[in-house]
Chains A and B, each alone.
Chain A
Amino acid sequence: ETGVTQTPRHLVMGMTNKKSLKCEQHLGHNAMYWYKQSAKKPLELMFVYNFKEQTENNSVPSRFSPECPNSSHLFLHLHTLQPEDSALYLCASSRRGTSGVPDTQYFGPGTRLTVL
């Protein structure tokens, strides 16, 4: 499945570093999402973008900063992270919802982030 790609696949960073995660979708979708997947916890929705506008921010700390320059690209900028931020970060995309239509989300492979 190459509809949603994420780079890098693995990232190790120190707490003082600044890095960015990239997501790109080739499905013609107009909604994009960032999720955090930690061990033994349900997937946590972090951000939602709909037509490049951020529509959800689920109480995510400011050390995570999303950017959506167009409907095909989504970034997650990271700075001064903590070791507990180590997780798999998943990007997803979907069509914008219309009444009665389930908008299936398609996921990328994720970026495995380790914060030292």
Chain B
Amino acid sequence: GDSVTQMEGPVTLSEEAFLTINCTYTATGYPSLFWYVQYPGEGLQLLLKATKADDKGSNKGFEATYRKETTSFHLEKGSVQVSDSAVYFCALSSFSSGSARQLTFGSGTQLTVLP
């Protein structure tokens, strides 16, 4: 079945440092790929997405490129801020019965950014 493997945390960085969170996946067919972010006490929010190979998703300074050859979707940001402290989830989508897509999530990576 589908699976997502995510870099284990926690990750602690200083403000303005470069961030990479690794994500690799296993899936049949051509899934769409997502990064979600969960701030303390809140639900998950979509951060960015990519629907086909070589697509780059970007939002709020974060980027990730859909690499089919390496089955990866690594999250990057050039200069993190304290407000980026959160848990980040990599996910892929696949069709379930009835054509509502399911999401398969990675285990999440806790990021803490220190001032």
Chain A residues proximal to chain B, CB less than 8 Å: 1, 4, 6, 31, 40-43, 45, 48, 50-51, 53, 55-56, 90, 92, 94, 96-98, 100, 102-110
Q: A42, B108: Cβ atoms under 8 Å?
A: yes
**Binary contact readout B62-101 vs A (1 if CB under 8 angstroms, 0 otherwise):** 0000000000000000000000000001000101111111
Report if A90-B101 is in contact (Cβ < 8 Å); known contacts: A42-B106, A42-B108, A104-B49: no
Given the interface contacts A42-B105, A104-B49, does A97 sit within 8 Å of B43 by beta carbon? Answer: no
Contacts of A102 in B (CB 8 A): 32, 34, 49, 51, 93, 101
Report A-chain residues with C-beta under 8 Å of the C-beta of B12: none
Q: What is the interface of chain B mostly: helix, strand, loop, or mixed?
A: strand
Who on chain B is nearest to A51 by CB? B98
A107–B93 CA distance with the chains assembled, in angstroms: 15
Contact of A48 (CB < 8 Å), options: B34, B41, B46, B96: B96
A50 touches B100 (CB 8 A): yes
Give residues 8-39 of B contacting A (CB, 8 Å). Answer: 32, 34, 36
Question: Distance (Å) between the CB of A76 and the closest chain B CB?
Answer: 15
23 contacts between A and B (CB under 8 A): A40-B107, A41-B107, A42-B106, A42-B108, A43-B103, A45-B103, A48-B96, A48-B98, A50-B98, A53-B98, A56-B97, A90-B44, A94-B101, A96-B100, A97-B100, A98-B99, A100-B51, A102-B93, A103-B101, A107-B36, A107-B43, A108-B43, A109-B43
Where chain A touches its partner, the secondary structure class is loop
User: Are A55 and B98 in contact, CB atoms less than 8 angstroms apart?
Assistant: yes
Interface residue from B45, B89, B93, B107 paired with A1 (Cβ < 8 Å): B45
Are the C-beta atoms of A48 and B100 separated by less than 8 Å?
yes
